Amino acid sequence: MHVDALLAPLPAPIDIDAAQVRASLDPQNVLVVLDDDPTGTQSVANLPVLTRWEKDDLAGAFATGAAAVYVLTNTRSLDEAEAARRNREIVAVALDAASDADLRVTFVSRGDSTLRGHFPLETDVLSEEIVTHGGAAPELTLLVPAFPDAGRITVDSVHYWVTDGEATPVGETPFAKDATFGFASSNLTEWVEEKTHGRIAAADVAALTIDIIRSGVEAVTEFLTGLATGTVVAVDVVEETDMRVVALALHGLTDRAVLLRVGPPYVRAHIGQDIAEPVRAADIPFAYDRGGLVVVGSHVPLTTQQLEELRRQRPDTVTIELDVRQLVDDRREAHLDAQARSVAEALADGSVIVHTTRELITGADGDESLEIARKISSGVVELVRRVLAIAPPRFVIAKGGITSSDVASEALEIRRATVLGPMLPGIVSLWQPQTGPAVGIPYIVFAGNVGVADSLARVVATLADAQ
Domain ranges of the chain: 3-270, 281-464
| C-beta of residue 173 within 8 angstroms of C-beta of residue 98 | no
pLDDT confidence of residue 348: 94
Mean pLDDT along residues 271-298? 92
Cα gap 89→86, rounded to integer Å: 5
pLDDT confidence of residue 93: 98
Minimum mean pLDDT range among 68-77, 206-215, 300-309? 300-309
pLDDT grade, residue 363 (50/70/90)?
low
Minimum mean pLDDT range among 69-78, 102-111, 402-411, 450-459? 402-411
Residues in the chain, total: 467
Non-local CB neighbours of 423 within 8 Å, separated by 6+ positions: 278, 279, 429, 430, 444, 446, 459, 462
Minimum mean pLDDT range among 178-187, 259-268, 301-310, 430-439? 301-310
Residue 128 has pLDDT above 90, yes or no: yes
With H, G, I as helix, E, B as strand and everything else as coil, classify residue 84: helix
Q: Which of 396, 422, 421, 423 is nearest to 410 (CA)?
A: 396
Q: Which of 387, 375, 381, 383 is nearest to 404 (CA)?
A: 381
Minimum mean pLDDT range among 142-151, 181-190, 294-303, 454-463? 294-303
pLDDT confidence of residue 47: 97
Mean pLDDT along residues 397-417? 89
Q: 318 pairs with which residues across the strands?
A: 352
pLDDT confidence of residue 373: 76
CA distances for 385 relative to 34, 222, 396, angstroms: 25, 53, 12
pTM of the model: 0.90
Non-local CB neighbours of 65 within 8 Å, separated by 6+ positions: none
Q: Which long-range contacts (CB under 8 A, 24 or more apart) does 367-373 make?
A: 367/79, 369/179, 369/180, 370/77, 370/78, 370/79, 370/180, 372/328, 373/77, 373/402
pLDDT grade, residue 374 (50/70/90)?
confident
pLDDT confidence of residue 304: 86
CA distances for 211 relative to 11, 144, 360, angstroms: 7, 16, 42
pLDDT grade, residue 368 (50/70/90)?
confident
Mean pLDDT along residues 438-446? 95
Higher model confidence: residue 292 or residue 406?
292
Q: Which of 376, 330, 334 is nearest to 357 (CA)?
A: 376
Minimum mean pLDDT range among 62-66, 258-262, 306-310, 339-343? 306-310
Residue 467 has pLDDT above 70, yes or no: no
Q: Report percent pLDDT > 70 for the chain.
A: 98
Higher model confidence: residue 26 or residue 404?
26
Cα gap 391→389, rounded to integer Å: 6
Residue 9 has pLDDT above 90, yes or no: yes
pLDDT grade, residue 252 (50/70/90)?
very high
pLDDT grade, residue 301 (50/70/90)?
confident
Cα gap 48→69, rounded to integer Å: 6
| C-beta of residue 39 within 8 angstroms of C-beta of residue 404 | yes
In terms of C-beta density within 10 A (0-12 exposed, 13-18 middle, 19 or more buried), how is residue 136 classed?
Answer: exposed
Mean pLDDT along residues 298-326? 89
pLDDT confidence of residue 310: 93
Minimum mean pLDDT range among 94-103, 168-177, 253-262, 373-382? 373-382
**HSE-up of residue 320 (Cα within 13 Å, Cβ side):** 23
pLDDT confidence of residue 328: 84
Mean pLDDT of the chain: 93
CATH number of the domain located at residue range(s) 281-464 in this protein? 3.40.980.20
CATH number of the domain located at residue range(s) 3-270 in this protein? 3.40.50.10840
Q: How many CB atoms lie within 10 A of CB 261?
A: 24
Mean pLDDT along residues 328-357? 92
Residue 358 has pLDDT above 70, yes or no: no
Domains 3-270 and 281-464 share a fold: no
pLDDT confidence of residue 365: 78
